[in-house]
């Protein structure tokens, strides 16, 4: 049993715990989540006139703080305690404080019983357990190292090499013999026949290149190297070749993690990359702000550009220019025949600003043209993915003239397709979640049957389990995306165990301590988003045009609201009108504070102005709500609401125009997985206030380069913004200080160059690991296939039948 609970039971606080739980039992709610439990404890403390100290630091206070759930039953209650990040314990507490630990199986049964779906008399429910498959693989020990998988893996791989040098060297030799590009052998040729010869020839080659001038081009001595067994790929100059060979020599003699990483990072083994993003409107113009189409599209396009550039640089450095090696990045998406004025009906579209990065669109098969010819919501897309993967494979082969070296999936659907492709092609698979739907919707798994008609979570969560376990590496944008914070569960963590009543119990859905998890945050497109002070790169006519649009233009088709006082400081926000983005919450916070209204105007860029423009029910509700709030708080004259979808170049300039007026940016989402708009605003120089729920907590350092807000507490949010505004009015430098620190934060930590350098290094290291550990993974992959064929596929077929009737 947990130490804390034991200590409470042996202390004077035992009675407090008993009393508190007794009072909790009176609660109307029978399933309490952390927030409910905290509130109940706060009430308990007030009622019993406890001190602040008791609330925060008493043993019971601590237990309450780390309790994630309480389920009240007739005679007892069940408690889910999370004493540490990524660790859960479950207890049943009876009257009189008899406490017994529960297993995860028991807890899942209790949850089923809670929703009246526990039927032991009908037999056991299917249990999904990935635990045994991770028993053989290396595991990170310390939770703070979760998300730094590659560092751990380098240590593991180098120690393996060290433990059995002969075997390790043999694996390295086989790995180096593997590489070629369009029929050209790379790295080593048949003259080096075994690992022993490799280690000898490396030394000879080092002596040879050491005699050459450092910057002598590779082409001038390639034949000599070839005769020693070395093909292109070691470097573009004598100096670079020497360095790479020396790293290999060191690795052979004394493998250490840094040398391992340095060596693998130089191996030219990635030339063709496929980025899979199936749902949404994937395009370069006129798509952002449409349903399901936001940051994911921005992220992938920028990533594709940056990857191509890095690959090209690596190819040059590796000395492969003579072979006319051209990297290729393919964004695989779906082709939407009825494309509503976008280019989503085109098979191939070049990514702007690249030589060889493309969007390849493959249509869904026409099971029912009334459905498949149109955009399909991400919640409904499941029946089409398997055949999409089969068709996409052919199209990819045609475009790449071979198979890719790396496949990166995006979001649940793209990750499933990435798995299907990677499995067939035997290629390294990476996953990016962007947003895992499971934690966004409260009780989404427990009540899945009630939600199934709208959300089809049974398919999505099965797809997630399949893809995240199959992936060689999971790229996450933040640490908390994986394992949350001391007081909140991470998005991946929510897949560790859960019940889908009547469908399955997940007793171990993912190993959070696996080195497959790596935090690699995205960057921001620096040619579009840059500091407002860089006047030389700004176009005066564009500034004028956007100033007019933002502050003065009268055009009811595009803008709602007229500002009374143009001199007030602008508070700016830009997002889709999703409920979770909570632009209405920001408007209400603004409405609640007359003082804030005296100092500021509110400017919202929100895509649409009228319910008649939207077919999305959530969006329609938000539009109506925003009008209601404006009337209720009489915000006329103080707010402008722009119903426009801005082209990329305008969206960059818009932040700068706000910064010219020493404005601020607010991101009020109820939850934000990462939040690209925050990076965009900060790099432009806007002091940024962002939700404390999700990624922004890691992007911003509170009160240093931005501010956290709690979007569920609107008065407090308004107060924080007002405090800042007043401080700026008292000290004219304050705005500038925060602005400069915001800019510096993005440049130091969130650039695409940092992102893709790390990503490519990961691709090589996981590629090597995939190669050396292949046999160990096959059993898990077979299990995953069983889930796909036996659970996912029949359910997808059922959904397809529904679509056929439309």
Among 45, 298, 630, 759, contact with ligand UDP (rule: CB under 6 A): 298
Query: Which run of H or of E encompasses 5?
Result: helix 3-9
Q: Which residues contact 294 (CB under 8 A, 6 or more apart)?
A: 288, 576
C-beta of 436: minimal distance to ligand UDP in Å?
13
Residue nearest to ligand LCN (CB): 295
Instruction: Dig out the tokens for 28 from the structure.
Output: 């109307």
- Name the residue nearer to ligand LCN (CB basis): 295 or 531: 295
Tell me phi and psi for residue 21, to 5 degrees: -65, -35
What distance in Å separates the CA atoms of residue 750 and residue 431, rounded to the nearest whole number? 19
C-beta of 578: minimal distance to ligand UDP in Å?
8
Give the one entry of ligand UDP, ligand LCN, none that residue 784 binds, where binding means its C-beta sits below a cut-off of 5 to 8 angstroms depending on kind: none
Q: Roughly what angle, to the nearest 10 degrees, separates helices 149-163 and 257-266? A: 100
- Name the residue nearer to ligand UDP (CB basis): 405 or 698: 698
End-to-end CA separation in angstroms for the chain: 55
Among 574, 728, 760, 796, contact with ligand UDP (rule: CB under 6 A): 574
What distance in Å separates the CA atoms of residue 38 and residue 68, rounded to the nearest whole number? 10
Q: Is 698 in the site for ligand LCN (CB under 6 A)?
A: no
Q: Which residues contact 489 (CB under 8 A, 6 or more apart)?
A: 68, 82, 439
Q: Which of residues 289-318 bind ligand LCN (CB under 6 A)?
A: 295-296, 299
C-beta of 410: minimal distance to ligand UDP in Å?
11
Among 675, 687, 706, 767, contact with ligand LCN (rule: CB under 6 A): 675
- Name the residue nearer to ligand LCN (CB basis): 60 or 489: 489
Q: Which residues contact 806 (CB under 8 A, 6 or more apart)?
A: 368, 370, 371
695-486-688 Cα angle (round to 5)? 30
3-class secondary-structure state, position 731: coil
- Name the residue nearer to ligand LCN (CB basis): 438 or 777: 438
Give the one entry of ligand LCN, ligand UDP, none that residue 646 binds, where binding means its C-beta sits below a cut-off of 5 to 8 angstroms depending on kind: ligand UDP
- Name the residue nearer to ligand LCN (CB basis): 255 or 295: 295
Site string for ligand UDP, 204-223 (x = CB under 6 A): --------------------
Residue 698's CB is within 10 A of a number of other CB atoms, namely 18
Give me the half-sphere count of Cα atoms (radius 13 Å) on the Cβ side of residue 336.
Answer: 21
- Name the residue nearer to ligand LCN (CB basis): 153 or 646: 646
What distance in Å separates the CA atoms of residue 803 and residue 23, rounded to the nearest whole number? 49
Give the one entry of ligand LCN, ligand UDP, none that residue 755 binds, where binding means its C-beta sits below a cut-off of 5 to 8 angstroms depending on kind: none
Dmax (CA) for the chain in angstroms is 86
Among 13, 588, 622, 680, contact with ligand UDP (rule: CB under 6 A): 680
Spatial contact of 546 and 502, defined as CB atoms under 8 Å apart: no
What distance in Å separates the CA atoms of residue 758 and residue 745, rounded to the nearest whole number? 18
C-beta of 667: minimal distance to ligand UDP in Å?
7
- Name the residue nearer to ligand LCN (CB basis): 199 or 293: 293
Q: Is 523 in the site for ligand UDP (CB under 6 A)?
A: no
Q: Is 233 in the site for ligand UDP (CB under 6 A)?
A: no
Q: Is 673 in the site for ligand LCN (CB under 6 A)?
A: yes
C-beta of 800: minimal distance to ligand UDP in Å?
28
- Name the residue nearer to ligand LCN (CB basis): 691 or 705: 691
C-beta of 627: minimal distance to ligand UDP in Å?
19
Bridge partners, 330 (sequence order): 274, 358
- Name the residue nearer to ligand LCN (CB basis): 523 or 675: 675
Q: Which residue in this structure is represented by tokens 């590796």?
A: 318
- Name the residue nearer to ligand LCN (CB basis): 40 or 275: 275
Give me the half-sphere count of Cα atoms (radius 13 Å) on the Cβ side of residue 247.
Answer: 18
Among 676, 699, 725, 742, contact with ligand UDP (rule: CB under 6 A): 676
Among 266, 279, 361, 434, contact with ligand LCN (rule: CB under 6 A): 434
C-beta of 693: minimal distance to ligand UDP in Å?
13
Spatial contact of 653 and 542, defined as CB atoms under 8 Å apart: yes
597-599-602 Cα angle (round to 5)? 55
C-beta of 437: minimal distance to ligand UDP in Å?
12
Q: Is 335 in the site for ligand UDP (CB under 6 A)?
A: no
Q: Which of residues 603-632 bind ligand LCN (CB under 6 A)?
A: none
Q: Which of residues 449-478 bind ligand LCN (CB under 6 A)?
A: 477
Tell me phi and psi for residue 341, to 5 degrees: 80, -5
Bridge partners, 409 (sequence order): 276, 431
Q: Is 436 in the site for ligand UDP (CB under 6 A)?
A: no
What distance in Å separates the CA atoms of residue 545 and residue 525, rounded to the nearest whole number? 22
Question: What is the DSSP code (8-state) at residue 485?
Answer: B
Size of the site for ligand LCN (CB under 6 A): 13
Query: Which run of H or of E encompasses 321?
Result: none
Q: Which of 276, 413, 294 is nearest to 676 (CA)?
A: 294
3-class secondary-structure state, position 329: strand
Parallel/antiparallel/unpaired status of strands 664-667 and 688-691? parallel
Q: Is 677 in the site for ligand UDP (CB under 6 A)?
A: yes
C-beta of 238: minimal distance to ligand UDP in Å?
44
Residue nearest to ligand UDP (CB): 294
Size of the site for ligand UDP (CB under 6 A): 19
Q: Is 414 in the site for ligand LCN (CB under 6 A)?
A: no
C-beta of 643: minimal distance to ligand UDP in Å?
10
Spatial contact of 523 and 757, defined as CB atoms under 8 Å apart: no
Spatial contact of 500 and 447, defined as CB atoms under 8 Å apart: no
578-437-153 Cα angle (round to 5)? 130
Spatial contact of 664 and 689, defined as CB atoms under 8 Å apart: yes
Instruction: Dig out the tokens for 661 from the structure.
Output: 């007026």
What distance in Å separates the CA atoms of residue 557 and residue 276, rounded to the nearest whole number? 36
Choose the binding region for ligand LCN from 50-58, 221-229, 610-618, 668-676 (rule: CB under 6 A): 668-676
Choose the binding region for ligand LCN from 202-210, 644-652, 672-680, 766-774 (rule: CB under 6 A): 672-680
Site string for ligand UDP, 257-296 (x = CB under 6 A): -------------------------------xx----xxx
Give the one entry of ligand LCN, ligand UDP, none that residue 677 binds, where binding means its C-beta sits below a cut-off of 5 to 8 angstroms depending on kind: ligand UDP
- Name the residue nearer to ligand LCN (CB basis): 671 or 771: 671
- Name the residue nearer to ligand LCN (CB basis): 576 or 656: 576
Q: Is 686 in the site for ligand UDP (CB under 6 A)?
A: no
C-beta of 147: minimal distance to ligand LCN in Å?
16
Question: What is the DSSP code (8-state) at residue 482?
Answer: H
Cα–Cα separations (whole angstroms), residue 625 to 211, 482, 581, 586: 75, 34, 13, 12
Instruction: Dig out the tokens for 310 from the structure.
Output: 């890095």
Q: Is 477 in the site for ligand UDP (CB under 6 A)?
A: no
Q: Which of 662, 658, 674 is nearest to 750 (CA)?
A: 674
Spatial contact of 101 and 90, defined as CB atoms under 8 Å apart: yes
- Name the residue nearer to ligand UDP (CB basis): 61 or 711: 711
Q: Which of residues 31-60 bind ligand UDP (CB under 6 A)?
A: none
- Name the residue nearer to ligand UDP (CB basis): 358 or 674: 674
Q: Is 435 in the site for ligand LCN (CB under 6 A)?
A: yes
Residues forming the site for ligand UDP (CB under 6 A): 288-289, 294-296, 298, 574-576, 605, 607, 645-646, 651, 674-677, 680
Residues forming the site for ligand LCN (CB under 6 A): 295-296, 299, 434-435, 477, 522, 672-676, 695
């Amino acid at each position: 049993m947990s130490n804390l609970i034991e200590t409470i039971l042996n202390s004077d606080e035992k009675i407090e715990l008993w009393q508190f739980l007794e009072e909790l039992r009176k609660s109307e709610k029978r399933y309490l989540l952390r927030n409910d439990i905290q509130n109940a404890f706060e009430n308990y403390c007030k009622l019993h006139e406890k001190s602040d100290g008791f609330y925060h630091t008493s043993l019971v206070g601590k237990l309450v703080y780390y309790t994630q759930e309480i389920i009240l039953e007739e005679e007892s209650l069940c408690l889910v305690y999370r004493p540490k990040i990524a660790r859960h314990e479950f207890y049943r507490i009876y009257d009189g404080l008899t406490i017994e630990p529960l297993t995860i199986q028991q807890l899942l049964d209790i949850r089923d019983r809670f929703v009246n779906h526990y039927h032991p008399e009908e037999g056991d429910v299917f249990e999904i357990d990935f635990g045994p498959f991770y028993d053989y693989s290396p595991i990170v020990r310390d939770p703070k190292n979760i998300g730094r998988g590659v560092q751990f893996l380098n240590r593991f791989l180098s120690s393996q090499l060290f433990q059995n040098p002969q075997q390790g060297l043999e694996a390295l030799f086989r790995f180096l013999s593997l590489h070629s590009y369009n029929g050209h052998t790379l790295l080593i040729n048949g003259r080096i026949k075994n690992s022993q010869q490799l280690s000898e020839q490396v030394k000879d080659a080092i002596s040879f290149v050491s005699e050459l001038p450092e910057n002598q081009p590779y082409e001038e001595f390639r034949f000599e190297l070839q005769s020693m067994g070395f093909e292109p790929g070691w470097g573009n100059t004598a100096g670079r070749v020497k360095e790479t060979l020396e790293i290999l020599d060191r690795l052979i003699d004394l493998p250490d993690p840094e040398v391992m990483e340095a060596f693998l990072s130089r191996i030219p083994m990635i030339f063709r990359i496929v980025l899979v993003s199936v749902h949404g409107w994937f395009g370069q113009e006129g798509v952002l702000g449409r349903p399901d189409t936001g940051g994911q599209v921005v992220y992938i396009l920028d990533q594709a550009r940056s990857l191509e550039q890095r690959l090209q640089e690596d190819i040059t450095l590796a000395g492969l220019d003579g072979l006319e090696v051209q990297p290729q990045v393919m964004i695989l998406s779906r082709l939407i025949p009825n494309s509503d004025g976008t280019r989503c009906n085109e098979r191939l579209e070049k990514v702007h600003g690249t030589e060889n990065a493309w969007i390849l669109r493959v249509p869904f098969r026409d099971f029912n043209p009334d459905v498949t010819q149109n955009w399909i919501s991400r919640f409904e897309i499941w029946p089409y993915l398997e055949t999409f993967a089969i068709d996409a494979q052919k199209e990819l082969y045609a475009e790449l003239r071979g198979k890719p070296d790396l496949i990166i999936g995006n979001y649940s659907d793209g990750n499933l397709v990435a798995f299907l492709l990677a499995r067939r092609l035997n290629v390294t698979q990476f996953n990016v979640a962007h947003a895992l739907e499971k934690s966004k919707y409260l009780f989404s798994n427990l009540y899945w049957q009630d939600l199934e008609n709208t959300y089809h979570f049974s398919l999505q969560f099965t797809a997630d389990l399949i893809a995240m376990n199959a992936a060689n590496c999971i790229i996450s944008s933040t640490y908390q995306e994986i394992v949350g914070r001391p007081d909140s569960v991470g998005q991946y963590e929510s897949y560790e165990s859960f019940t889908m009543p009547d469908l399955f119990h997940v007793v171990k859905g993912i190993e959070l301590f696996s080195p497959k998890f790596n935090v690699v945050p995205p960057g921001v497109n620096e040619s579009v988003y840059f500091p407002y002070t860089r006047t030389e790169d700004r176009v005066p006519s564009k500034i004028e045009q956007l100033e007019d649009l933002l502050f003065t233009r009268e055009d009811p088709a595009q803008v709602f609201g007229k500002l009374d006082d143009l001199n007030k400081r602008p508070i700016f926000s830009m997002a889709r009108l999703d409920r979770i983005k909570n632009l209405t919450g920001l408007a209400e916070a603004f409405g609640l504070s007359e003082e804030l209204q005296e100092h500021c105007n509110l400017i919202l860029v929100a895509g649409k102005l009228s319910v008649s423009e939207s077919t999305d029910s959530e969006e329609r509700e938000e539009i109506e709500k925003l009008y209601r709030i404006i009337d209720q708080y009489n915000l006329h004259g103080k707010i402008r609401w722009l119903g426009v979808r801005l082209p990329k170049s305008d969206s960059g300039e818009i932040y700068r125009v706000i910064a010219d007026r020493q404005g601020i940016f607010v991101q009020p989402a109820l939850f934000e997985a990462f939040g690209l708009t925050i990076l965009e605003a900060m790099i432009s120089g806007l002091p940024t206030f962002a939700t404390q729920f999700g990624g922004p907590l890691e992007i911003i350092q509170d009160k240093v380069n931005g501010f956290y807000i709690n979007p569920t507490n609107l008065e407090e949010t308004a107060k924080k913004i007002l405090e800042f505004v007043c401080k700026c009015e008292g000290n004219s430098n304050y705005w500038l200080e925060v602005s400069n620190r915001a800019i510096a934060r993005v440049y130091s930590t969130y650039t695409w160059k940092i992102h893709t350098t790390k990503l490519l290094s990961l691709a090589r290291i996981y590629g090597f690991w995939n190669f050396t550990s292949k046999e160990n993974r096959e059993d898990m992959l077979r299990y995953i296939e069983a889930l796909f064929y036996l659970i996912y596929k029949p359910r997808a077929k059922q959904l397809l039948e529904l679509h056929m009737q439309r």
